Each structure stands twice: as C-alpha cells, then as structure tokens.
Structure 1
Amino acid sequence: RYLEHSGSWAGYRSYFMRFPKEYLTVVVLSNYDGFDSKKYANEIAGIILEK
C-alpha cells in the first residue's frame, strides 16, 4: 500500500510515492515536460523494495 501524488507546471514534472510500512519515500523531479516521472518513480521503488 502506498500514497502518491504527481504534478506539473510550465515544463516541470514531479512524482511522489510514500510507502508507510516500508518507511520509504521516493520523489522524482524533472525540468523536462515530456519526462515520465511516474514510470521512473515506480522503477526506483521496485528496485529498492525488490519487486
């Protein structure tokens, strides 16, 4: 179970994931509007959580 929030504004993108039980937070920030921040946040979380 996790919490998530995304955002974008004027060429920037962000994605936040919080895994309370695992004491893990992943934040991805980008200054390129075409960047898939959710994809990379999920990949990072998967590597750390070994999924």
Structure 2
Amino acid sequence: MITGGHDLPYFTATGHHLVAELPSVTLLELPWAGHLTALERPRGIADILITHLS
C-alpha cells in the first residue's frame, strides 16, 4: 500500500486501515506524493514496485 503525504485524509486512513486488517500488506508513505503517485513520478513508482516484487 502506498500513500502520499499530500493525499486526502480519507485515503491515508484507508491505507492505514488496510495495513492493520491484512497481514500481508505493508505501508509505504511517500511525503512528496499526493493521490496519484504513479502519475506524479512514474519512474520512481516503477522502481519501488520492481524492488518490492523482486
């Protein structure tokens, strides 16, 4: 789960809720990001996903 520091409170809270309820989910909070992290910095998000899936 990726949340952004500039996202709306509802989405941040939803991310925290999912992490608390689903044991296989981890949370990555990006202080620079809003709601659409993959559109804001596509290469950075791709790198994060590739690292996580490797």
Q: TM-score, normalised by structure 1?
A: 0.32
Q: TM-score, normalised by structure 2?
A: 0.31
Higher relative contact order (CA 8 A, sep 6+): 2
Q: Which protein is richer in helix relative to its size?
A: 2
Q: Which protein is richer in strand relative to its size?
A: 1
